[in-house]
Amino acid sequence: MTPRTGPEPGRITDGPRPKHAQLTDVLTGLATEGRGPGTAIPSERELMTTYGVSRATVRKAIDTLVSDGLLERVHGKGTFVARPRVESRLHLASFSQDMRRRGLSPSTRLLALECGRPPVEVARALAMRGGALAWRLSRVRLADGAPIALEDGWYPRAVLPDLDTRDLGGSLYALLADAYGIVIDRGEQTLWSEAADGVTARRLEAPVHTPLLVFRRISTAAGRPVEHAVSRYRGDRYQVHMSLDRNRSG
């Protein structure tokens, strides 16, 4: 409909990626490039004819974005771009969800997945016996195609025997839960700031010495440590928002 500068507004095709997921991306674009919070997106019936999908599919896509906090529905009026929520939720829950809430499209670039012997402090943090092997997973996380963070994690092979056969392009926590029944229920996180060295800077496509926000996280599931991860976020592209409450109502 809109003869934008961009060639195609993104056709919804019948491929491996579900249609509702594709529509989610399209709608994220609409919501982001629109005139900001309060702007209405096309009605559900309009979207079904525009993109040639059923209303159920349209609603599923909108559901996702509503629960991510990007859109708001108003019965009888329409669906609108939501005002950004002031809410806690560090990046811990899900990188993808976090990015979408900010109106960005998340993706992942896999750098390495190897099996080896972790450094002693990692092995100790993961309560591994000396000599035991672990996966080293290295990924660049992107938003709208631009590198945001570099994540380096160690995962005991005894816990995740065939991690190398899995799809590591999405949320790792979701994979742990879905494929292994491992649900992270506790974490210890340390956060500091450092300057990017040459390798890190190159991977993040940033100048050397760019200030980074660094998280080191040790996650446990049912008392068993399963993850030792260090995430380096570009300080110029990433901010953490949090609500601090004295009482626990959140």
Partner DNA sequence: GATACGGTCTGGTACGTACCAGTCGAGCAT
Partner DNA sequence: ATGCTCGACTGGTACGTACCAGACCGTATC
22, 39, 29: which is closest to 4 by C-alpha? 29
Among 27, 30, 31, 53, which residue interacts with DNA (rule: CB under 7 A)? 53
Answer with the entry of DNA, a copy of itself, none that 45 interacts with (C-beta below 5 to 8 A by kind). Answer: DNA
Summarize as ranges the residues that interact with a copy of itself (CB under 8 A). 38, 56, 63, 67, 72, 74-75, 82-84, 86-93, 177-178, 181, 183-195, 209-213, 217, 219, 222, 233, 235-236, 238-248
Query: How deeply is 79 buried, as exposed, middle or buried, from its count of CB atoms within 10 A (0-12, 13-18, 19+)?
Result: buried
Q: Could you say which of a copy of itself, DNA, none residue 92 binds, taking C-beta under 5 to 8 angstroms by partner kind?
A: a copy of itself
Three-state secondary-structure class, residue 124: helix
Question: Phi and psi at residue 221, in whole multiples of 5°?
Answer: -125, 120
The H-assigned helical ranges of 68-119 are 95-101
The separation between CA 132 and the C-alpha centre of its own chain, rounded to angstroms, equals 30
Helix axes 44-51, 19-33, angle to 10 degrees: 120
Q: Cα–Cα distance between 24 and 96 in angstroms, integer?
A: 12
Please pick, from the candidates 4, 36, 55, 158, the single residue that binds DNA as defined by CB under 7 A: 55
What CA–CA distance (Å, rounded) separates 101 from 84?
A: 8
The option from a copy of itself, DNA, none interacting with 59 (CB < 5 to 8 A, set by class) reads: DNA
**Shortest Å, Cβ 64 to a copy of itself:** 10
Structure-block tokens of residue 89? 């939720």
Q: Choose the contact partner of 113 out of DNA, a copy of itself, none; CB within 5 to 8 A by kind.
A: none
Nearer to DNA, 29 or 187 (CB): 29
46 is a site residue for DNA (CB under 7 A): yes
CA-to-CA distance for 148 and 146, rounded, in angstroms? 6
CB of 45 to a copy of itself, least distance (A): 18
CB of 72 to a copy of itself, least distance (A): 6
C-alpha to C-alpha distance for 147 and 149, rounded to whole angstroms: 6
Q: Which amino acid is at 10?
A: G
Q: Give the x/- contact pattern for DNA in 68-87, rule: CB under 7 A.
A: -----xxxxxxx--------
Query: Could you tell me the smallest distance in angstroms from the CB atom of residue 4 to a copy of itself?
Result: 31
Identify which of residues 1 and 244 has a Cβ nearer to a copy of itself in the complex: 244
Question: Quick one: 54 or 243, whose CB is closer to DNA?
Answer: 54
Residues of this chain that interact with DNA (CB under 7 A) are 14, 18-21, 43-46, 48, 52-57, 59-60, 73-79, 179
